[in-house]
Structure 1
Amino acid sequence: MTNFKDFINQYKPRVEEALVEESKQHGAEVSKDFEKALQYALLTPGKRLRPLLALAVMASFGRNIDDDAVKAASAIEWVHAYSLVHDDLPAMDNDAYRRGKLSVHALYGPATGVLVGDALQAQAYKILSGVKGASASQIVSMVRVLSERSGAFGMVYGQVLDMQNHDTVKDSVLLAQVLDQVYQKKTADILIAAALIGGHYQGLSQPALALVEKYAQNLGLLFQIQDDVDDYEQDEEEGVVSLVHLIGMDRAREMVDELLAGAEGTLDELAALEVEFDKSLLEDLIKLIGA
């Protein structure tokens, strides 16, 4: 399978089934309202790009995508969902809606929003620790990369920078540097974690993992900058300052081309390193994002 849209159609339903299943407390009484709140947060409309990237890395090395692989990949969506729930809170971005639906705190209250986010984050590590299709060392590696990329000096730090500096830094050069860090931490790091979870589950060598990380780094920044390019006019109307507003549309498009080339070049390196690697699926993902 080389078409990433077909890959989404095949595996997104399986990821969402895993999310719902892991949100249930089997064999014990639990508040149905809380269970519904968890599922509401987990099933926010979206492509499930992060778990699908993990699965795509596995599939690109010839892995059969079984239920255990889906379970490992789904853990990243729990962390992603937690970040969205907390980002929307009144003390953060104070958003009442996300993708046309009420945010968790707007529907269930701020206290429940905090607790749902906490629960989503913790459950991700329970899921990873219970994966049966990987060795103990592989599980430790997956847990480590997810915690590093989402924690104090990863995604969370990106939110810290976003809150502290976005509205206070007036110099456009400095603000561009801040946004570059925010994009790295809040967007690229989680996509890197997803790709590396797929790589560790597959048991890839360190050289191969380094190239998988490099690919995901380019992909993450490409994803964010292309999104800014697409949303440029809407951001103008809403007064949102993105990196594109600071560096200009021409430079932003140059960066998109550079990141596309960087990601594609990394896949070529990976194909030269690992004979069983088929780059077509991950290459199609680049084109889908950079279109």
Structure 2
Amino acid sequence: MEGGGGAAAAPGAAPGPEPEPEPEPEPGAELALGAAAGAPLGYLHVLWQREEPAGKIPARRLRRAARLHRRLGPTGKESHALKRLREAANSNDLDIVQQLLEDGTDPCAADDKGRTALHFASCNGNDHIVQLLLDHGADPNQRDGLGNTPLHLGECHTDELCVQRAACTNHVPVITTLLRGGARVDALDRAGRTPLHLAKSKLNILQEGLSHSLEAVRLEVKQIIQMLREYLERLGRHEQKEQLDDLCSRLQMTSTKEQVDEVTDLLASFTSLSLQMQKMEKR
């Protein structure tokens, strides 16, 4: 009988094949199974774990992950957090907004009228909250039940959500922030109004001399220039953008109210001309 190094088979038992080793589970499989077992945040966690690069997560990826999560439906606790986020944005509570976003609250979740936290913050003219929401994946082109994007409400024309016309004068920085955050420049409101119309309204107020401080007027003119530069750059109108650069340089050299008023008048003329060009292009 030939000798062997293996263990002897049990008496009367036929030798069988060696058992195959169990396959190693794929990375993240345990967490995915946990999600299927009833943990709605599990899949979202796996998605982030697999795709998160070094550094800041792109806002587009955050929005995609949040859409997947919304399909599962929020829990009662999450629904409360979503409502708190919209309320905090509407009441200009920056600290609460930041806390809820850091806890993972979805900035794109809307109420029964389709309004998101970004709609409320834009309407209120709070560019700090607008920027914070955009940094955490808020969609600058998401429409509410009336078809308004945050840009429309930032422009602050008559709307159910934002009816105080006097507040419209504070929305120029919001428009600039939304444009930088990817808001579509062709997403006009139902009357076809653009940031140019907001600039014209704001400049009319400045020319009426309702502002009291020289520095305040200079700052507001600078904000209007920044908004128009961003808008015209997105439209590809580089020649007009260069004209605004010249006005901005001229504004920086002003030291008297008369000099600031002169730049304001030039900017008003520039805006009126741009509006006329816009009307001609639509014909």
* Higher gyration radius (CA): 2
Q: Indicate whether the TM-score tops 0.5.
A: no
More helix by share: 1
Q: TM-score, normalised by structure 1?
A: 0.28
Scaled by the length of structure 2, the TM-score of the pair is 0.28
